[in-house]
């Protein structure tokens, strides 16, 4: 069984391996020892805090194979972005150039540099090793965050976003960035991506064009990838779209990948979730349905995907002994859960 839990200092080497595997364009996990260790320390600090509103907390989870103890994936939440560092995007909008006298009406798309998402909650750092990409693992890594957020909603903003990785090749070549590089930055995409990942964002404000960019002025290659995702990111995007996330025209300033958003209270898994006390009964649990389940703790958080039953008469959730042990709970404790398959 795979269990999701808070990251600890002992997971450093596993996190480093995941950072290497994630490759160029996965900005939230730079291959840098000090920064990865700082990321772990910040997460450990965050799980110990008791905030009354979203702030500088950064929650990082790992998926562990309970049989081998190997860490096979990560998943994270930034409680409020743009508090310490500026949080940049391009917004894809339109302007109209028209002349009634000449009977000319032209609409042009423009990219406007902005900080519109400052203060919202961001889900991030979702990565699953190739050998673990099976069954419900990827969905559990993603959906457990929605259950955690709705259970502890005072820790998070109502608007939740996810920055999706844009188009780049195996060498880190980004068609969108190549145009910016040629005209404004004189710096390749892997370098810009790494500098952002280590928190060095000053160069963005210094070098990024200050005025809106007409999309038609970009190269055809750059225009073609605006709002498009990396091949490896398509499953993650589909999953978020199923949850109710959509793009409102915001794209990444480096690779033009889309940023999708949803209201926390409207995210499907969160909205459909329930919280009930637990009864432990192996036979009854096996007759139930597959669910994503979390305990209600913060610092001792656990999440799994397994079969469970619900007694509507007694208003209890029925779990197996193995599931209860994995969640680190006892009979009478509460869990929050959402079904793997929704009944439309």
Per residue in 112-156, pLDDT (tens digit) is 999 999 999 999 999 998 888 889 999 999 999 999 999 999 999
Question: In Å, how far are 55, 234, 253, 312 from 23, measured between CA atoms?
Answer: 29, 16, 18, 47
Active-site choice (16, 105, 230, 266): 230
CB atoms within 10 A of CB 113: 17
Tell me, what's the pLDDT at 14? 94
Both 32 and 129 in one domain: the answer is yes
Q: Residue 206 domain-assigned?
A: no
> Phi then psi for 40, rounded to 5 degrees?
-65, -45
End position of a domain, from candidates 237, 268, 299: 268
Both 164 and 287 in one domain: the answer is no
CATH code of the domain containing 293: 2.40.40.20
Residues of the chain with pLDDT under 50: none
**230 tagged catalytic:** yes
Per residue in 219-265, pLDDT (tens digit) is 999 999 999 998 888 988 999 999 999 999 999 988 899 999 999 99
Tell me, what's the pLDDT at 149? 98
Q: Residue 194 domain-assigned?
A: no
Q: Residue 92 domain-assigned?
A: no
Both 30 and 131 in one domain: the answer is yes
Q: Which tokens in the block code for residue 91?
A: 């917004």
Q: What is the dihedral of CA 167, 192, 163, 202, to 10 degrees?
A: -150
Domain boundaries, position 22: 2-81+118-172+225-268
Both 157 and 303 in one domain: the answer is no
Look at the chain and report how many structural domains it folds into: 2
Both 241 and 319 in one domain: the answer is no
Tell me, what's the pLDDT at 199? 63
Q: Residue 212 domain-assigned?
A: no
Q: Residue 213 domain-assigned?
A: no
Both 258 and 278 in one domain: the answer is no
Provide the b/e sequence for 207-234 (b: ≥16 CB within 10 Å): eeeeebbebeebeeebbebbbbbbeebe
> Phi then psi for 337, rounded to 5 degrees?
-150, 160
Q: Residue 181 domain-assigned?
A: no
């Amino acid at each position: 069984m795979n269990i999701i839990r808070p990251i600890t200092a002992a997971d450093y080497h596993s996190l480093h391996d995941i950072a290497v595997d994630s490759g160029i364009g996965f900005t939230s996990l730079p291959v840098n020892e000090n920064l990865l260790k700082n990321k772990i320390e910040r997460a450990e600090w965050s799980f110990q805090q008791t905030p009354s509103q979203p702030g500088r907390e950064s929650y990082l989870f790992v998926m562990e194979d309970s049989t081998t103890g190997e860490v096979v994936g990560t998943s994270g939440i930034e409680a409020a972005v743009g508090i310490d560092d500026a949080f940049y995007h391009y917004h894809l909008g339109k302007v109209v150039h028209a002349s009634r006298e000449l009977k000319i009406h032209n609409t042009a798309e423009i990219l406007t540099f902005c900080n519109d998402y400052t203060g919202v909650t961001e889900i991030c750092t979702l990565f699953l090793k190739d050998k673990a990409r099976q069954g419900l693992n990827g969905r559990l890594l993603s959906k457990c965050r929605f259950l955690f957020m709705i259970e502890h909603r005072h820790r998070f903003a109502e608007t939740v976003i996810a920055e999706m990785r844009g188009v780049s090749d195996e060498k880190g070549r980004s068609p969108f960035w190549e145009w910016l590089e040629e005209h404004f930055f004189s710096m390749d995409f892997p370098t810009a991506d790494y500098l952002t990942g280590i928190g060095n964002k000053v160069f963005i404000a210094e070098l990024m064009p200050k005025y809106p960019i007409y999309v038609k002025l970009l190269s055809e290659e750059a225009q073609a990838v605006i709002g498009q995702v990396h091949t490896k990111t398509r499953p993650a995007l589909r999953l978020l779209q199923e949850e109710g996330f959509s793009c409102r025209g915001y794209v990444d300033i480096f690779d033009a990948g889309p940023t999708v958003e949803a209201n926390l209270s409207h995210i499907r898994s969160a909205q459909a979730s329930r919280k009930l006390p637990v009864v432990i009964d192996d036979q009854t649990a096996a007759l139930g349905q597959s669910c994503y389940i979390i305990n209600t703790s913060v610092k001792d958080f656990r999440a799994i995907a397994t079969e469970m039953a619900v007694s509507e008469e007694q208003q209890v959730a029925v779990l197996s002994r193995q599931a209860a042990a994995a969640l680190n709970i006892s009979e009478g404790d509460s869990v929050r859960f959402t079904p793997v398959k929704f009944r439309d």
